[in-house]
Structure 1
Amino acid sequence: MTISLYVRHARKARVAAALLCLAALSACGGQPAADTAGSAPSPAPTTRFSENGVTVTLSVSDWKASEGTLTAVFTPEAKGFHLYSTDLPATGIEGVGRPTAVGVTGALKAEGRLKAAAEVRSISVPGVDAPVPVYPDGPVTTTLPVRADGNGDATVLVGYASCSTRDGCTIPVSDRAVRLRVTGDGPAFEAP
């Protein structure tokens, strides 16, 4: 290889390395590229856990003036499993089922009722006289309007049970605590 050809390859390699460094800086919070069209909003505080056959993802969004929306997505880990209605009594119907529930305590207060983005359907359970209200098989998204009652510690309390008409039910989860901290900047979940 001649020296002039070597110099040209070295220059191209330096230019490519410089471009990679600039791209990495932009992706990691360095100076954004000149053609960036505004800044993206910061991501919503989010956490998740899995227990008794269901993964629950919690997030707080639309946080303004000490108010926002707490979203909980309940995802059964196996196909064919459903969750029970948020309106199911705390002890179920004739002891069958547990409601899908999300509540808050401490520095967060609920500003309304928990709503689910799924239609309720009724199923018949052998040995139970009354119909049992459930959501269709698969994930269910719920939302709860919340507001900060000052700065400090808060707890999200989550409850649910999942069942399958073929495979039976998982053990219900009741008042599963998820901790977060509320500051002037908004809520942040503690590391799991």
Structure 2
Amino acid sequence: MGEVRPRFARALGAGLLSTAVLLSVASCTGGDDGRAADVPTASFTENGVAVTLRVTGWDGAHGTLTADFVPQEKGFHLYSVDLPPQGVDGIGRPTALAVHGTVRPHGRLTADVPVRKIHSPGTDALLPVYPDGPVTTTLPLTADGSGAGYVSVGYALCNATEGCLIPVQDHRVPLAVTDDGIAFPQPG
């Protein structure tokens, strides 16, 4: 996973990189016609990355979950979706989306940028990472009917000179499928 540098630990302890969740209750009632109001979205920022989730192309039973991962500082990269869950030799954590409840994957998670391999300091392990900067992932979805569920989001953010931030694992974002469409309901 890499070393967590003191300046990041202080920022985390001070709450400067704590979760700020903004959820939308917009629902999608069919197809992606380009109108932003019809695209369900949810956003949060945690441990140096702003994440925006959206569902497009929803036809009542199928659609695509897209997640934009945007590092908040230049020079940082995310690990590949293909990295094992516990990393390589315990180093790194994959960029991950998992759905639970009334929705399930209908294909595999993919990313819009190529993977490159880097050496981790102090080991011979080659780690699959994305180039520094934003990454967009997509996951085809299918629904097993109406009901509640959630999206579990995970990632780790690192750079070559300062090390890594604390990984995010299983950040849960509520999701609901109704007869009217799909939504990210606001908690509470």
TM-score relative to the length of structure 2: 0.79
Q: Tell me how large the CA RMSD over aligned residues is.
A: 1.4
How many residues matched?
A: 154
**1:69 aligned partner:** 64
Task: Name which of 128, 133, 145 aligns with 1:138.
Answer: 133
Higher relative contact order (CA 8 A, sep 6+): 2
Q: Rg larger in 1 or in 2?
A: 1
- Offset of residue 132 of structure 1: 0.6
Distance 1:171 1:125 in 2: 16
Distance 1:100 1:130 in 2: 18
- Offset of residue 40 of structure 1: 6.6
1:111 equivalent in alignment to 2:110: no
- Offset of residue 74 of structure 1: 0.6
Instruction: Describe the shift of the 1:178–1:40 C-alpha distance in structure 2 as closer, same or farther (beyond 3 A).
Output: closer
Letter in 1 for 2:54: S
Runs of 4+ that moved beyond 6 A? none
Decide whether the 8 Å contact of 2:53 with 2:67 is kept in 1.
Answer: yes
Q: Deviations over 1:101-121 (max 9, x none)?
A: 001000111101001011000
Q: Deviations over 1:121-147 (max 9, x none)?
A: 001111121211000000000000001
**1:95 aligned partner:** 90
- Offset of residue 65 of structure 1: 3.5
Unaligned stretches of 5+ in structure 1?
A: 1-38
Distance 1:182 1:68 in 2: 12
Letter in 1 for 2:175: L
Letter in 1 for 2:170: D
Distance 1:93 1:128 in 2: 10
1:191 equivalent in alignment to 2:158: no
The percentage of aligned residue pairs carrying the same residue is 56
Distance 2:66 2:142 in 1: 13
TM-score relative to the length of structure 1: 0.77
Distance 1:72 1:125 in 2: 26
Decide whether the 8 Å contact of 2:113 with 2:135 is kept in 1.
Answer: yes
Unaligned stretches of 5+ in structure 2?
A: 1-32
**1:79 aligned partner:** 74
Distance 1:86 1:68 in 2: 20
Distance 1:54 1:170 in 2: 10
Distance 2:95 2:63 in 1: 20
